[in-house]
Amino acid sequence: MQCPIPGCTDSTRPGQLLCRLHWSAVPTELKGRVWSTWRAFTKAVGHRAALVARQPYLDARQAAIDHVAAAQGPLL
């Protein structure tokens, strides 16, 4: 998969959210949030529980992407 950071042409490895460079730019606290919400999602039992657990992960994921994209500054 391609790294979701706008303008980045690097690819992510399976199970990774961002390319190595951009993942390293995510603050530790936010990385922890992505992992803990992901774990909660994978442990959710049943369709309904999975749907409920999915949103915090998507929020954390988006927060990490937004943080790195904002830190990058405007694209050339």
∠ CA 31-33-38, rounded to 5°: 100
Total number of residues that touch Zn ion (CB under 5 A): 6
Residue 25 binds Zn ion (CB under 5 A): no
Residue 19 binds Zn ion (CB under 5 A): yes
Smallest distance, Zn ion to C-beta of residue 3, A:
3
Residue 3 binds Zn ion (CB under 5 A): yes
Give me the residues that bind Zn ion (CB under 5 A), please.
3, 5, 8, 10, 19, 22
